[in-house]
A and B are shown apart, each in its own frame.
Chain A
Amino acid sequence: MNGTSQMLVYLIAIPLFSATVLLLGSRALDKVGHIIGTLASTAAFVVGLLEFFAMLGRAPENRAVTQPLFTWIEVGNFNVGATLLLDQLSICFVLLITGVGTLIHIYSIAYMSHDKDRRRFFAFLNLFIAAMLLLVLGDSYLSLYVGWEGVGLASYLLIGFWNQKPAYATAAKKAFVANRVGDVGLSLAVMIAFVQFGSVSFSGVAEGVEAGKASSLALNCLGAALLLAAVGKSAQFPLQAWLGDAMAGPTPVSALIHAATMVTAGVYLISRSHFVFDVASVAQLLVVIVGAITLLFGAIIGMAKDDIKKALAASTMSQIGYMILATGLGPVGYAFAMMHLLTHGFFKAGMFLGAGSVMHGMNDEVDMRKYGALRKYMPVTFITFGLGYLAIIGVPPFAGFYSKDKIIEIALDAGGAKGIILGSITLLGAAITAFYMSRVMLMTFFGSKRWEADAHPHESPALMTIPMVILAIGSISAGFIFNLGDRFINFLNPVFHSDHSGHGEKEHLLPPIVVSALALTAVAIGVSIAIAKYGRGKSIPAVAPADVSVWTKVARRDLLQDDLNEALFMRPGQELTKALAIVDEKVIDGAVRGVGSLTLDVASGVRRTQTGFVRSYALWVIVGAVGILATIAVMSL
């Protein structure tokens, strides 16, 4: 039933080839490296668009296409093919990755123009694009795993791009280690799938689940393992600590990897595994809980951050919390999660690029307390960032309104106390989001100048502003377009097999118009508090005030997430390492040294027999001979 396409491999091959050329090429490529990288990403985007239009030309149920590449693993009747699968879910990601990716490549040409390692930067970006495309195009958990590790590697390399600064190198390591914890989940999931269903392909596992091959316990374990993987990659509670530090990477990286694409891989994984979560109720509940905790967690951290990138990172965490929450709400949620994912990809990438533009003009200053009044000096950045801001807080008709509103709606409809709790959390999250994003806006673009003496803010070059403008247009229109006649939901329908046709008539806890009103009220409250605290006439001290409540202090310390990790894992780990070092020193080395010194002691005793007198040796020879003869004589008696 599925068609095939011979083009899919080029999506991955082009950026991968470009990355290889850029990494292995000589310095002669320094002058054109960024152009090659951008062209490779653009080419992948064009292929993606062609595939998209080809897909739209087919009937909805035949839209998925595959491209078998080669037989990867063949052991007995276990067969894994390296096959690419492009369906309605993948194409959303493909267009997001290559589209936003290309814009960010263009932006980076200007942003990284003063960096002598620009060619390496573009090589890593291309590597990331290739790995992320493999992640979303693989048709089995094993192919996905390869892409999953690939994006982890690219993320590590890019966070630590300026690894001459020890703090940045540490941030890269932290991200890598946190991701590794999640990866354990994914490898466990692959193993569980193999043991239970004898297959690791999505279709094979889906059929196995449908045929009831696995017990409910196994399915819940599989779901929990997948959730662990998603939690690691998407910086969800309790593995969220790495995302804030990941902002050490260049800002385009934060925009592409740590806002728009890689961190949403967890949402992709859960959506892709919807057939597991639809039947594993415990795992599904865990997904909701993780999403709900993280959305508040991120929002609270966002309120306390003075570093513009870290505030945005906390916001990313929170928004992905919304998506994860939505995926945990069953069939209705996946499409809305995807919708929020795409709109978030636009407005958050746009805002990160805006933050990068501000930093570019302010000597790489990231402390918002040293910004202020920038709207007159960076009009394009101000307008594009402002549009992203309106989108994220959910003001109609901007993108975030449509996608976030839907999530709040389905959260309220989850039924019973669960619905009320989740609805309240999402509404509270919306209010906090409005507060902290308004704070970012006000501190950066409004108020008085609090610049450092040597700051000369100026608008960024066109190569940087054009991608920001395009993303801003996306932030305005994406939600409206997606929502037009439930177009996006219907587009994704064949993947999730959920029946949305009756969605409109379904019994709602509250009518949609009331939900929207509630959400807007929450947003208005958040914005008003922010204006009251940071608006006109309020002075913002250059150094964060120290005499604040203990809650603020805790929020500034990322809600103690690092302290907790350090106390629970790092310190005991260090103690264990120290103990092992002692064991190594005393026991293992002791044994080795003991053998040596024993040999020496024995030898220094035995060597006294070596007198150098030939005659005493001869005596021993004779004694020995007599001894042997005597023994033989005694034995033969």
Chain B
Amino acid sequence: MSLDNYLYLSALLFTIGAAGVLIRRNAIVVFMCIELMLNASNLAFVTFARMNGSIDGQLFAFFTMVVAACEVVVGLAIIVTIYRSRRSASVDDARLLKL
């Protein structure tokens, strides 16, 4: 099986994630879509590592996972806090930062 297919899959997953971020209103779902985009890029990293015979890409994938884990901690905390105060997890409801 050609390694290209992994790249196609990666691109597909990234697109689904991006579309989800743009389309969905529920913060949890948006958040999951962001995770999907991160993992799509991880897949691309690993694939390129394999293609180039270098482990740099795998290393980057680990970095991404660590950062993503941290991001989940902070992001979920924010979402939970917003939900507690506003009784809503819709990203469109939290739009106070405008003129």
Within 8 A of B (CB), among A594-628: 607, 610-615, 618-619, 622
Residues of B within 8 A of A622 (CB): 18, 22
Bound Cα distance from A613 to B30, whole angstroms: 13
Is B92 touching A613 in the complex (CB atoms < 8 A)?
yes
8 Å CB contact of A615 from B22, B97, B98? B22
Is A614 touching B94 in the complex (CB atoms < 8 A)?
yes
Residues of A within 8 A of B30 (CB): 614-615
Bound Cα distance from A622 to B37, whole angstroms: 12
B3 is an interface residue with CB less than 8 A from chain A: no
Is A619 touching B22 in the complex (CB atoms < 8 A)?
yes
B1-37 interface mask toward A, CB cutoff 8 Å, 1 = contact, 0 = none?
Answer: 0000000000000000010011101000010000000
Question: Which single residue of chain B is at the shortest CB-CB distance from A614?
Answer: B91
Residues of B within 8 A of A614 (CB): 30, 91-92, 94-95
Bound Cα distance from A612 to B91, whole angstroms: 10
B73 is an interface residue with CB less than 8 A from chain A: no
Residues of B within 8 A of A610 (CB): 97-99
Is B99 touching A607 in the complex (CB atoms < 8 A)?
yes
B96 is an interface residue with CB less than 8 A from chain A: yes
B24-67 interface mask toward A, CB cutoff 8 Å, 1 = contact, 0 = none?
Answer: 01000010000000000000000000000000000000000000
Question: Which single residue of chain A is at the shortest CB-CB distance from B98?
Answer: A612
8 Å CB contact of B97 from A612, A618, A619? A612
Within 8 A of A (CB), among B66-99: 91-92, 94-99
Residues of B within 8 A of A611 (CB): 95, 98
Question: Which single residue of chain A is at the shortest CB-CB distance from B94?
Answer: A614
Residues of B within 8 A of A613 (CB): 91-92, 95
Residues of A within 8 A of B99 (CB): 607, 610
Residues of A within 8 A of B18 (CB): 622
Residues of A within 8 A of B23 (CB): 615
| Least Cβ–Cβ distance between B25 and chain A, in angstroms | 8
A24-67 interface mask toward B, CB cutoff 8 Å, 1 = contact, 0 = none?
Answer: 00000000000000000000000000000000000000000000
Bound Cα distance from A628 to B98, whole angstroms: 27
Bound Cα distance from A271 to B98, whole angstroms: 82
Known contacts being A622-B18, A622-B22, is A615 close to B96, with CB within 8 Å? no
Bound Cα distance from A611 to B98, whole angstroms: 6
Bound Cα distance from A618 to B22, whole angstroms: 7
| Least Cβ–Cβ distance between A427 and chain B, in angstroms | 90
Bound Cα distance from A612 to B18, whole angstroms: 19
Is A612 touching B95 in the complex (CB atoms < 8 A)?
yes
| Least Cβ–Cβ distance between A617 and chain B, in angstroms | 10
| Least Cβ–Cβ distance between B72 and chain A, in angstroms | 17
Residues of B within 8 A of A615 (CB): 21-23, 25, 30, 91-92
Bound Cα distance from A613 to B97, whole angstroms: 9
Question: Which single residue of chain B is at the shortest CB-CB distance from A626?
Answer: B18
| Least Cβ–Cβ distance between B7 and chain A, in angstroms | 15
Question: Which single residue of chain B is at the shortest CB-CB distance from A603?
Answer: B99
| Least Cβ–Cβ distance between A285 and chain B, in angstroms | 79
| Least Cβ–Cβ distance between B98 and chain A, in angstroms | 3
Question: Which single residue of chain A is at the shortest CB-CB distance from B18?
Answer: A622
Question: Which single residue of chain A is at the shortest CB-CB distance from B92?
Answer: A613
Bound Cα distance from A618 to B91, whole angstroms: 12
Bound Cα distance from A230 to B23, whole angstroms: 91
Within 8 A of B (CB), among A122-158: none
Bound Cα distance from A607 to B99, whole angstroms: 7
Bound Cα distance from A610 to B95, whole angstroms: 10
Residues of A within 8 A of B92 (CB): 613-615
| Least Cβ–Cβ distance between A611 and chain B, in angstroms | 6
Question: Which single residue of chain A is at the shortest CB-CB distance from B91?
Answer: A614
Question: Which single residue of chain B is at the shortest CB-CB distance from A616?
Answer: B22
Residues of B within 8 A of A618 (CB): 21-22
Q: Which of A607, A610, A615, A619 has the most CB of B within 10 A?
A: A615
Question: Which single residue of chain A is at the shortest CB-CB distance from B34?
Answer: A618
Residues of A within 8 A of B98 (CB): 610-612
Residues of A within 8 A of B94 (CB): 614
Question: Which single residue of chain B is at the shortest CB-CB distance from A625?
Answer: B18
Question: Which single residue of chain A is at the shortest CB-CB distance from B95?
Answer: A612
Bound Cα distance from A615 to B30, whole angstroms: 9
The 6 tightest CB contacts between A and B, nearest first, are A612-B95, A612-B98, A614-B91, A607-B99, A610-B98, A618-B21
16 new A-B pairs (CB below 8 Å) besides A615-B21, A615-B92?
A: A607-B99, A610-B99, A611-B95, A612-B95, A612-B97, A612-B98, A614-B91, A614-B94, A614-B95, A615-B22, A615-B23, A615-B91, A618-B21, A618-B22, A619-B22, A622-B22
Q: List 10 A-B contacts (CB under 8 A).
A: A607-B99, A610-B99, A612-B95, A613-B91, A613-B92, A614-B94, A615-B23, A618-B22, A622-B18, A622-B22
A interface residues, Cβ below 8 angstroms from B: 607, 610-615, 618-619, 622
